[in-house]
Amino acid sequence: MKPTGPTNIMTVEIARELRKSYPVVTRHLLKSRRAKEGVNVDKISVSSQENDIVIVPGTCLGTGKIDKKVTIYALRFSASAKKKIEGIGGKCLPLSALAKDKPKGRIMI
């Protein structure tokens, strides 16, 4: 029988740390890799404001333009997304740092 949930041990540990503070993020982290859709910087730009905190329980992708300085916590960042976000002064932080910081932010799914 093939596994249906995440097989990456780090993802499971992050989900365990975020279980009580961010149940929606945990639910999406425990999905299979195929079920986790990426979020483009274009979508983040449209639905956020300047200096917002955005939580992406998957991959942040670089399609589109971003014109707002935001802080993004994500499981993974594509190279182009990281370049675009940091190019305008935003921050790209790993999802594992979310358990320590515990910011209030917009969850992008």
Chunk the chain into consecutive blocks of 10 residues (it has 109) and report each block's average pLDDT, rounded to whole numbers.
Answer: 72 91 92 86 95 94 95 95 96 93 88
> Bridge-partner residues for 66, per DSSP?
none
- At residue 99, the pLDDT reads 86
Q: What is the pLDDT of residue 109?
A: 82
Domain 37-107 belongs to what topology? Ribosomal Protein L15; Chain: K; domain 2 (3.100.10)
Beta carbons of 50 and 71 less than 8 angstroms apart: no
pTM, rounded to two decimals: 0.90
pLDDT computed for residue 60 by the predictor: 96
Q: Given this model, what pLDDT does residue 5 score?
A: 66
* Contact call for residues 48 and 70 (beta carbons, < 8 A): yes
